[in-house]
Structure 1
Amino acid sequence: MKIRKAVFPVAGLGTRVLPATKAMPKEMLTIVDRPLIQYVVDEAREAGIEHFVFVTGRNKGMIEDHFDRQFELDVTLEKRNKKSEMEILARDQPEAGAMSFTRQQAPHGLGHAVWCARDIVGNEPFAVVLPDELVLNTPGCLKQMIQAAEKLGDKANVIAVEEVPADKTHQYGICGVGKRDGKMFEIDGMVEKPAPGTAPSNLSISGRYILQPEIFQILATQERGAGGEIQLTDAMIGLSKTQKFYGVEFEGERHDCGSKAGFLRANIAFAMQRDDLRAGLIEDMKRYLEK
């Protein structure tokens, strides 16, 4: 079945980048000149996603406004003959009815956020995309995953994975490696933040998932795990007892924009891809490094 829907959990408080997120959703922080949420929506659109499901919380109305029409702005740009700006806005504008918003009324964890989208997703496979993780690559990470899922057939769950230093595996969800086919492999086990020296591999679970709808049944009764929250990894471990999971070592450079250092690195990395910014940025960085 075609993967048509993607869930974006955007209810988090963004505490790692306070005070910037005191009044602004972290998903609206800008990388160069576009908000984080726009980058991941673009990635999903490139992958063929048709319906975008946002699981929001309090003070997240700015996200919905971003994807709405701003008639006053459109009229002003037209009067001023700002054609390039108008083209950018038109390109980013979603089709009517292509976006849904639902509330996670309390911070019960990523698994709970995904569960909140159950009625909108329905009985079909879907993607989960964490908006504070950006992957710099063409094709995007999600498109690589969907291409892998299409080869696997029905009832295949796919997770994006990447290598982490062996001495840092206790900070991540880690998967075990089974039968491998190039960049894709069967996952023969998952563990959330294993004790040092006990990890089955050094491949961490990243912020991109393709899941079968049966995950909702497990999440409905999932007990709280690490941090007292309903963990998506725990539910995936439960689902793996009846369905296969596969890992995809994606091509690209991942940036954790939920941390201050990662946010700064992402701005530099994405700016360096811009012909209109690269030369000036290099000169500025040289000047600061000389100080």
Structure 2
Amino acid sequence: MSKKRKHTNQPLKSNGNKKDPGRKSKAKSSLKKEEIWSFKNVSFNNFIPLLIALIFFSILWFRPLDIKITDPWYEGIALIDSANKVTEKELKNLLLDEAGEKLSEQVRKHPYHARVHYLYGYYWLQRQNWDSVIYHEREAIRIGAGGVVEQVEFKAQEMLNYAIGKKVNPLINSGNNEEALKVLEYATTKNMNNPEIDRSKGIIYLRKGDNDRALGCFLRYEKSQPNNVLNLTNIGLSYMRKNNLDSARFYINRAIKLDPNHNRAKQLNAQLNPQNQ
């Protein structure tokens, strides 16, 4: 008697030739995840040198080399800023004294650091010691000239120009022309824009009767300040003294067009054109 085969619900065993579709999809999914993760890692690693370079160049651009916010010269400037915010005179002086001590120490330690001289000049500006401002800003310009990382010479020149005016104008107004001229000669910086020195020198030379030098100074000043009425008037006066009346009239007329009520220009115009009076 033959035995009947029992039927079961179990699946047939794979003979090894057929592939499991479920396993294939899982493998693909795992592969995709690995590819994505690998891509992310490679991308991040590629950006690391760029990030380092950006950080490095941002430090170079925004700060000089080897400078921290806590460096003593910045501490000195912070004290000056604090002093400018207080109204009590005694406290203000104490803060400025401390700032001066910190900055003077840094100048002794770093005599060839342009920014230190620039900041120390700023301290003396608060003290209205114009001689010290002129000295340290000149040093900042001399040492820092041609720098590409921190170009302090241009800011130093602005401060120098301001100090020159404060120092020289009272000397000129009091008739101390020789002393004023010495200050101007000393304060002159090569290859920097300082038209105020030319203007002041021109006035001194004009008072001394040196019309050729005066005219040269006024003409150089005109290049930066073409519409300065007083300077145009001084150019006209210089030409008058040189007996170049046509050029004198030209500049006096320019001055009057800009300011019809300028007294000195009107007086010179009357001398040049007596027939019109």
Which TM class, normalised by the smaller chain length? under 0.3
- State which structure, 1 or 2, has the greater radius of gyration over its C-alpha atoms: 2
TM (norm. structure 1) is 0.20
| Structure richer in strand, relative to its length | 1
Larger RCO: 1 or 2 (CA < 8 Å, sep 6+):
1
| Structure richer in helix, relative to its length | 2
